[in-house]
Structure 1
Amino acid sequence: MSTKTDILVLGGAGVDTIVHVPELPLPYADSYMINPGIVTRAGQSGDFVALGVTALGLRTHHIDLLGDDPEGDLVRAFHRDLGIPLTEVPSVQGTKRAVNLVGPDGRRLSLYDNTRSQESDRLPDATVRALAAASRHAHVVITYPCALALPALREAGVTISTDLHNWDGVNPYHEPFALAADLVFLSTTALADPERTMRDIAARGRARIVVATAGAEGAYLLADGELTHVPAVTPPAPVVDTNGAGDAFASGFLLGWLAGENVYRCALYGAVAGAYACTVPSTRADAIGRDDLLARATDPVLTSDPAVGTARKAASAESGA
């Protein structure tokens, strides 16, 4: 079957309620006056990856469980307005939702409603196989029940990526995702020894590449047994919210991955996309476009860190650019 989709995104559809707070952690008080207000909008991890890769010109399809509720209507409208095909599987428990507390410096604290899934929830294997067979790659969000879809994806023969987010390297919930994916993203936030965890993922699983993002410190790239630091990219505007930065990084990386770029250029694409995402208020959904990303990825003043220039030269030499 000829592929009609570049990236199949599984899971991570839902809504966030954004609450701006004067500081994080938030001290106890009877009440706070919130400015610029409280906004509920569609967009969780899978939605943001689907948005990011679509904005970069990749053909995308998203599948997840959704409820017959107002939150599900927001998710359906999100995909309809952006032209992202969506396969929805009915969820009796309702659409996933979360509350994000956002501080003045753009940091966020997410409170996820864990009642929106149950053991009987499934993404139908036949549907997953059919969508995967028509796709070049699958990005699997760690929301339940996506781990149960991993065997069907493997049978379909697509490459797989996943984002473990703030995994501590110990929680067993994340392991099926970590060990089944060809490309693994995660954050260093909860890792005592990021390199050890990255190498453990590569040694025990299928991952050819492991990327650990570290916020303003950039990211760490493990490929072919070699660990490389990828410096952060200077955002094109003031940082207002870090929500979705990791999803944007993954989207940029996947653009390079599917284009056959070397891993260093893929990481640079990810860093550019992630930096842009930090300039977007969490109350709206936006992502960097392909032309803008490619232009920023070759801009000599993109960052003040000379190491990025060195990495860029090495990437250009390797790719013959």
Structure 2
Amino acid sequence: MSSPEIDVLVLGGAGVDTIVHVPELPLPFADSYMIRPGIETRAGQSGDFVALGAHALGLRTHHLDMIGDDHEGELVRALHRDRGIPLTDVLQPGGTKRAVNLVDPQGRRLSLYDDSRSRETDRLPEETVRALAGASRHAHVVITHPCSAALPVLREAGLTLSTDLHNWDGDNPYHEPFAHAADVVFLSTTALADPERAMRRIVERGRAQVVAATAGADGAYLLVDGEVTHIPAVTPPAPVVDSNGAGDAFASGFLFGRLAGEPPLRCALYGVVAGAYACTVPSTRADAIGRDELLARVKELDDQDATTTTATVPSA
């Protein structure tokens, strides 16, 4: 049997964001605001950012999703074409997914997703999913409706799966098929009253070997083999300008480590380094940390830890 041609198959999450810079969040009611640097529209939603991040780290990446025959769809296709990321797009009758992101001066984001683009009947063709899965080592599944229907086909193909539940509240049943089918589950602590309880429930009810919960400036929490470990945040390499895409970058960095055979704690370190870099990228750009920069930054952190350890060991 030949080796897989694709390292990471990303399903779903292709779309376009309109970025609106606001003076503060929450935004007080007013008749109007004069804003700078202004309003811009660019391709890039969750699946796009995971694909971009994985590709930048040297992983052979392929993106599959439903995209409209519209201007926004052309922006998505152009992003992949310009970055050299293979894209298989299936026509989405309702049009390309869109969102408006309000971004404040501290880089915090509030996203407004246009829910009118998707339909209950939207599906990724089973034969296309099966063919791409058969050529892949791993699939990262975005929590959109067509991807939910593709989960059984991916599991039958025998490749490992990951998903990102984003700001799941721990109770919404919509997220459960994704959480229970994946080997690696990412999520945010933002809406969780008890993050550890939610993480353990994912493991108990599904097949996850690893659950990673990102916590912004507090770093992340990793559940492996029944033990929860805190992964401290790292200092970003430049000023923080936007948190958009940080969770997707964490996932890309983590998967880079996992597919290289690194242990989960090391994978999580890659994730927080990639996530910190993403926070320095303006919301109007789609960019990701490269492999050399990621490894160099991790080596710096290793060297710092080694120096600290040596300094604290008492002399004989």
- The two structures have a TM-score, normalised by structure 2, of 0.95
- 1:122-144 CA-to-partner distances (Å, cap 9, x unmatched) read 00111101101100000000122
Tell me what 2:102 maps to.
Answer: 101
Tell me what 2:164 maps to.
Answer: 163
Return the offset for 1:34: 1.4
Alignment map for 1:60-139 (pairs within 5 Å)? 60-139=61-140
Distance 1:190 1:165 in 2: 9
Q: Does the residue aligned with 1:206 lie in a helix, a strand or coil?
A: coil
Distance 1:292 1:234 in 2: 14
- 1:300-321 CA-to-partner distances (Å, cap 9, x unmatched) read 489xxxxxx669999xxxxxxx
Tell me what 1:146 maps to.
Answer: 147
Tell me what 2:8 maps to.
Answer: 7
Distance 1:34 1:84 in 2: 34
Tell me what 1:181 maps to.
Answer: 182
Q: Does the residue aligned with 1:142 lie in a helix, a strand or coil?
A: coil
Kindly report the root-mean-square deviation, in angstroms, between the aligned alpha carbons of the 2 structures. 1.6
Identity %: 77
Distance 1:72 1:34 in 2: 27
Distance 2:307 2:234 in 1: 12
Q: Does the residue aligned with 1:145 lie in a helix, a strand or coil?
A: helix
What is the letter of the counterpart of residue 94 of structure 2?
Answer: Q
Q: 1:313 to 1:96 in 2, by over 3 A?
A: farther
State the 4+ residue runs in structure 1 displaced beyond 3 angstroms. Answer: 309-314
Q: 1:128 to 1:313 in 2, by over 3 A?
A: farther
Distance 2:261 2:298 in 1: 16
Return the offset for 1:36: 0.2
Return the offset for 1:167: 0.1
Q: 1:313 to 1:127 in 2, by over 3 A?
A: farther
Distance 2:131 2:266 in 1: 32
Q: Does the residue aligned with 1:25 lie in a helix, a strand or coil?
A: coil
- 1:31-60 CA-to-partner distances (Å, cap 9, x unmatched) read 111100100000000000000000000000
Alignment map for 1:1-321 (pairs within 5 Å)? 1-300=2-301
What is the letter of the counterpart of residue 133 of structure 2?
Answer: A
Distance 1:145 1:6 in 2: 22
Structure 1: where are the runs of 5+ without partners? 303-308, 315-321
Q: 1:116 to 1:246 in 2, by over 3 A?
A: same
Distance 1:271 1:19 in 2: 26
Question: How many aligned positions are there?
Answer: 308
Distance 1:239 1:82 in 2: 24
Tell me what 2:312 maps to.
Answer: none
Structure 2: where are the runs of 5+ without partners? 310-316
- 1:225-278 CA-to-partner distances (Å, cap 9, x unmatched) read 111000001000000000000000000000000000011110000000000000
- 1:44-82 CA-to-partner distances (Å, cap 9, x unmatched) read 000000000000000000000000000000000000000
- The two structures have a TM-score, normalised by structure 1, of 0.94
Distance 2:203 2:261 in 1: 21
Distance 2:153 2:37 in 1: 44
Tell me what 1:318 maps to.
Answer: none
Distance 1:311 1:191 in 2: 35
Return the offset for 1:2: 2.9
Return the offset for 1:298: 1.3
